[in-house]
Structure 1
């Protein structure tokens, strides 16, 4: 694999914006993301600058990217830190110290090259190394019809937790929680 996996840097907000917009144009985006391309493209630069700056700090959130030798970004995953006394971002409040993977995306031309696996290895390793009370699990949610993603998550060690939540805006569909326990 010729990609470097590393945390995003604050000044890279334009690249962070570009890969998010690319992700939202992927054919499975309606199943994978809770935001549309139309919503994201309208956000001002200040939104992307702040979002990337926060993700670069690595305190409550960390975004990892897969960078090709030519500097292009082939993929990304974001890790949200969830503590029992913290903010509920999606699903139920954390009952234990955990992290939550979101925004998973690998460009079509980089799929099958180990990029997603490397991103997940970095995200999970970072989760286990966090300061403070030790993280007990890493979780994510996947749309019940997103078979490609579920298959990948199982392959890298995630199992169904048994919990699910309705998809925002579509109460007939479910987001299934998957986890890796420490």
Structure 2
């Protein structure tokens, strides 16, 4: 099987919307995403158009990368958000240096276990390094063992930073990161 991994184009918002809604119906979506299917499905087209435009090819602050199956179907995705030193992240925590933040990682269940997620990660990391990221991080729920195993497999390590979720203060998200300096050795 041959897959194509690439950045999305701004006119592809319907496909991006469909893939996101599929991701939000995954059995572990409640652990993997901060957004629910119920809230996402009610969003107007303008929401999806804006979201895709901000992360489409050529955007400097974000990039959504997708994997297309042999039939052209979108079967996987991840998004890299660039965070600037001296700002605060989505959780109100200080950002100490320019970094990429991986979000929205999803591969259709029928396409898992074949190395596709690793290829998506490679593309996302390549884009982040080209934007001058000193490190790339991601946040994962403490109970999402499947995702944690994958992130370790592709080189990310826990940093010890935890992020409480505003909507569920007893749940913790764990920060994993990959340092550029470690790769340059």
> What's the TM-score once normalised by structure 1's chain length?
0.95
Cα distance between partner residues in 2 of 1:138 and 1:18: 27
1:94 alignment partner, SS class: coil
Cα distance between partner residues in 1 of 2:133 and 2:66: 22
Residue-pair matches, total: 179
Indicate conservation of the 8 Å contact 2:142/2:174, yes or no. Answer: yes
For the pair 1:48 / 2:61, whether they are aligned, the reply is no
5+ residue gaps, structure 1, are none
Residue 93 of structure 1 and its aligned partner are, at CA, apart by 2.2
Indicate conservation of the 8 Å contact 1:64/1:76, yes or no. Answer: yes
- Structure 1 pair 91–106 and aligned structure 2 pair: CA distance change class (3 A): farther
Matches within 5 A, 1:77-96: 77-86=78-87, 88-90=89-91, 92-96=93-97
Aligned equivalent of 2:176? 178
Aligned equivalent of 2:166? 168
Indicate conservation of the 8 Å contact 1:142/1:175, yes or no. Answer: yes
Matches within 5 A, 1:125-136: 125-130=126-131, 134-136=132-134
Indicate conservation of the 8 Å contact 1:137/1:179, yes or no. Answer: yes
1:171 alignment partner, SS class: strand
5+ residue gaps, structure 2, are 181-185
Residue 173 of structure 1 and its aligned partner are, at CA, apart by 1.1
For the pair 1:114 / 2:128, whether they are aligned, the reply is no
Cα distance between partner residues in 1 of 2:2 and 2:143: 31
Residue 54 of structure 1 and its aligned partner are, at CA, apart by 1.2
Residue 85 of structure 1 and its aligned partner are, at CA, apart by 3.5
Matches within 5 A, 1:34-73: 34-56=34-56, 57-73=58-74
Write out per-residue CA displacement over residues 96-142 of structure 1, whole angstroms, 9 at most, x where no aligned residue: 01000000000000001111000000001111111xxx311000000
Which is further off, 84-93 or 95-104?
84-93
For the pair 1:103 / 2:104, whether they are aligned, the reply is yes
Cα distance between partner residues in 2 of 1:87 and 1:154: 26
Which ranges of 4 or more aligned residues in structure 1 deviate by more than 6 Å? none
Residue 91 of structure 1 and its aligned partner are, at CA, apart by 5.4
